[in-house]
A and B are shown apart, each in its own frame.
Chain A
Amino acid sequence: MKILVCIKQVPDQESRITVDPEKAWAGYAENASYWINRYDEHAVEAALQIREKLPGTMIDIVSIGPARVKAAIRRCMEMGADQGFHLRYEHEDYLSPSIKSRLIAEFCRDRDYDLILTGVMSEDMMSGQTGPMTAARLGIPSAASVMKLEVDLEKQCLYVERELDAGHRCFMELKLPALAAVQSGINRPRYPSLSNVMRAKSTEIEEISYDDSLLDAKYETVEKVLEAGSDRAGLTLQGSTAEKAAALWQLLHERSLI
Chain B
Amino acid sequence: MDHSIMIICEQSEGRILPVTYELLACAARIGGFYNSSITAVLPGNTPDTDAISGADLLVINSPGLAEYTAEGWEKAALLAAGELKPNIIIIAHTSTGYDYAPRVAALLDGSCITSVSGIELSDGSIRYRRSGFHGKLDMLYKEGKQPLVITVLPGAFPAYDQQAAPGMVRYMNADIQPVHTSNVHFSISDQSNTELEHAEVVIAAGKGIGKAENLELIREMAACFNRSAIAGSRVACDNGWLEYNAQVGLTGKKVSPQLYVACGISGSMQHIAGMKDSKTVVSINRDPDAAIFKNSDICIIEDLEKFIPAFIREAEKHHEGRV
Contact = CB atoms under 8 A, between A and B. Distances in A.
A124 B139 CA distance: 11
A173 B182 CA distance: 5
A58 to B, nearest CB: 23
A170 to B, nearest CB: 5
A249 B102 contact: no
A257 B259 contact: yes
B322 interface: no
Given A17-B133, A136-B74, A257-B225, A184 B180 contact: no
B145 A162 contact: no
Contact of B180 (A171, A178, A220, A222): A178
B180 A227 contact: no
Contact of A143 (B70, B137, B143, B281): B70
Size bin of chain B's contact surface: 35 or more
Contacts of B145: 98, 217-219
Main secondary structure of the interface of A (DSSP, over half): mixed
Contacts of A222: 139-142
B140 A144 contact: no
Interface stretch (A45-53, A199-207, A238-246): A238-246
Given A17-B136, A129-B112, A220-B142, A228 B291 contact: yes
B114 to A, nearest CB: 5
Contacts of A166: 189, 251-252
Contacts, number: 263
Contact of A220 (B95, B144, B225, B306): B144
B111 A232 contact: no
A107 B300 CA distance: 48
B194 interface: no
B238 A185 contact: yes
Interface string B223-265: 0110000000011011000001001001110000011000000
Contacts of B66: none
A81 to B, nearest CB: 22
A246 B314 contact: yes
A133 B110 CA distance: 11
A126 B299 contact: no
Given A219-B145, A249-B311, A255-B280, A229 B138 contact: yes
Interface string A146-171: 00000000000100001111111111
Interface of B: 68-71, 74, 94-96, 98-107, 109, 111-115, 127-128, 130-145, 148, 179-189, 191, 201, 224-225, 234-235, 237-238, 244, 247, 250-252, 258-259, 266, 268-269, 276, 280-282, 287, 289, 291, 293-302, 306-307, 310-311, 313-315, 318
29 contacts: A98-B109, A98-B112, A126-B130, A127-B112, A129-B105, A132-B98, A133-B106, A133-B112, A136-B102, A141-B70, A141-B181, A145-B98, A162-B95, A165-B94, A166-B189, A167-B189, A167-B247, A168-B188, A169-B186, A171-B183, A172-B183, A185-B238, A221-B144, A232-B297, A241-B306, A244-B310, A245-B314, A248-B282, A255-B280
